[in-house]
Structure 1
């Protein structure tokens, strides 16, 4: 059986310009009409077909000379060059925008001020490009917006996007919801919601939201009731802060605890023990009898602070993603085995009030 002969591939010639044709910008083997911007097959790269196309489709241009088509060719080349530059600039700006979002995410994870983008990151990028890569860094730096407002806006947009993705998953997945209450260092109350769910066979735990509460009803209501029953006045926070500053305390505020927050009591007792002397000094000005009673329980406070710190360590080990029942059981059993040792230590007065 005879083989099929290969088709002849026609080559472009500068003479085709008199018919209004040039080589296609995307494929030099195909003819391109400057008048209608149509690309033809390689078979169309014949003088007869080009002449026929000019006569039938563009009869008003068939009498034009070569100079006319040469001008069209230069105009098309300039337009293509401008379009290429625009596409290149657009791509570069898009890359800079992506870099801006990625760097903003890094800033958010680091917990640094948003101004670090303009003050440190961009100067560092400029230094690396100019010193190590020996290139002009001005155009690259301009394409990456990292001002304080830009970073804040990027972080907010990223947070909204993450929340939307999480909500979309929760709409089609069974999940467990946990509500938790906490207080910040300035005693501002927060309500936090966590969700745990299984996605693609993997157990995940995410924070759903964190919202400030107008009042921490559990903490402040119980505190006010306690003071009212004992006919005492509320402690002035500003006076206590000034006293802590005079005594060179590391912290200036006492922590309030809530029954909901699992680390709250331990942290509250630890802070109370650290500021014990300042607390007694302040109480002596308001109620000397109460101050003497507090002095008598100094050792008990130390023991409780240490014991609750141990409980906090256990609680932290029970938290986190992908914690299994077997791992949690091992942590609890390990802690139970140490309780006997803790009990023996508490019974020994000479330990100085600290667990080992």
Structure 2
């Protein structure tokens, strides 16, 4: 057997780098023409001969005259701007792991599907040499898992660095849900200022091991910040969504947070007015809603009924052939199912007769159809309100304006109902116009709308900004007479209004970005404005994140810890691949 030659850093003077074969054999590769030679050619005479004959080697091309003698092969290649073979293999591995996490795929997909397909394609299209190179890319299940963990930690470090350097306190939103394995998961997002803009980022997803009390949620939140050596004092606001005994204003969570950091502002998610509507429903309307829920569960909860229902509706050519499940957490389905059920009332009634259901008597009641029409109209309005607040970047000012405008409609609707005007309730108006029925429900609807108006202010803390603080929304049209003369920032407001350049910025920028840009010019004004704009108004981001659990926690992955995967999947941060690979190779070199 011939002697195996080894690479020497000095060979880089001939514009060669080293490639390693599967069996560990080192072969020279020309940086200029990418030609790969055998291990027997790994000697100065052969390399110099190729360099002189093929590339006209002269003294000026001798790298030693331009670069200091390297102490390590990788440092020399890095100085030349050439990636080593090990670098490219690692980069390919990390890039695939990143895409795998982004698409929420299982880690085994690379080893079982992607790599075999890539090897077949490479052999057919590019030839055996390309296939040989692809075989060296590490894509095993354990490798992909470790790559995702490393990228997750890098993303987390970027977020933590941003939190530490944020000029103002950050906002947090928290939400909890149970996954398909009955494990309670707590998810958190953070909002902070970076480079003159407000950024929203994923913070963590941690399991609540035993109970889900408010104090357990607080311990997880505090434990996360302590683990990363950040004081909880960095938080300026926390937005929660849940029962008042767990995460609401009467919970142990709020008491614990206030004890640790008294300055923190607690806000409740404004995204779910449906719960308030249910609490204020009169008895007959509540019974109608629960009857519709039982009808839906009768159809959807039993597989034979569901199949028969679909077949029946396909035969008669109805647009909707699937009823959505009613669930407490996915509140939008309640409004959609009421609308669909009213539009398909006669067909559902026929199906219940065909199945001899005991729900027929309640469903055929004339009052039930009238109540169903009103509920469908009301929940449709609620869905439109909630959908308008379902967006990234929603602040408390915009959300309260939308909710306040909606609550003001109750009084207007109430007066119309008292005058027997049902224009804003088209389904209910349809019944009254066609059958001259439903007038008896007018008093009941008016009473319900009055209760909604009264309770909304308490349940959601609905209200506009104080008149003296409305300069935050438009400092140029705001009447300065509303500001007290002793207000220390009145002079700053007057000076800001005199700047034409700042006016142009205000007209072309988002409200949050505008005040972020004023941090260096008018820090006092910007701080007051941003302390109102930074807090979360809803837990919409958590709702999106918790929906991603359906992709990660499947039956075949029930024991899977998804904390790192979900961070890579839904975070806006991109891993710093070059730094990760650099650290990885340094660790490998030290272990040799």
TM, length-normalised to structure 1:
0.51
Q: How does 1:1-356 map to 2 (within 5 A)?
A: 77=43, 91-173=84-166, 174-182=169-177, 190-213=185-208, 240-242=301-303, 243-244=305-306, 247-248=309-310, 250=322, 253-257=325-329, 264-271=330-337, 297-316=371-390, 319-321=391-393, 344-346=423-425, 349=428, 351=430
**1-side partners of 2:114 and 2:404: how far apart?**
48
1:149-190, Cα deviation, whole Å (9 max, x unpaired): 433332233223322332233234331112224566898754
Q: Quickly say closer, same or farther: Cα 1:290–1:333, change in 2 above 3 A.
A: closer
1:239-297, Cα deviation, whole Å (9 max, x unpaired): 9354546645757853113xxxxxx432343356667959x96xx97888776776663
Q: Quickly say closer, same or farther: Cα 1:216–1:271, change in 2 above 3 A.
A: farther
**2-side partners of 1:310 and 1:187: how far apart?**
32
Alignment root-mean-square deviation, CA: 5.5
Higher relative contact order (CA 8 A, sep 6+): 2
Q: Quickly say closer, same or farther: Cα 1:306–1:183, change in 2 above 3 A.
A: farther
Gaps (5+ residues) in structure 1?
Answer: 1-23, 29-73, 224-229, 258-263
Q: CA deviation at 1:105?
A: 1.1
**1-side partners of 2:324 and 2:336: how far apart?**
14
SS of alignment partner, residue 190 of structure 2: strand
Gaps (5+ residues) in structure 2?
Answer: 1-9, 15-39, 48-71, 78-82, 214-241, 246-274, 279-286, 311-320, 414-421, 433-592
8 Å CA contact retained: 1:193, 1:207: yes
**2-side partners of 1:97 and 1:77: how far apart?**
27
SS of alignment partner, residue 150 of structure 2: helix
**1-side partners of 2:197 and 2:379: how far apart?**
37
Larger gyration radius, structure 1 or structure 2: 1
Q: Quickly say closer, same or farther: Cα 1:201–1:210, change in 2 above 3 A.
A: same
TM, length-normalised to structure 2:
0.34
SS of alignment partner, residue 344 of structure 1: coil
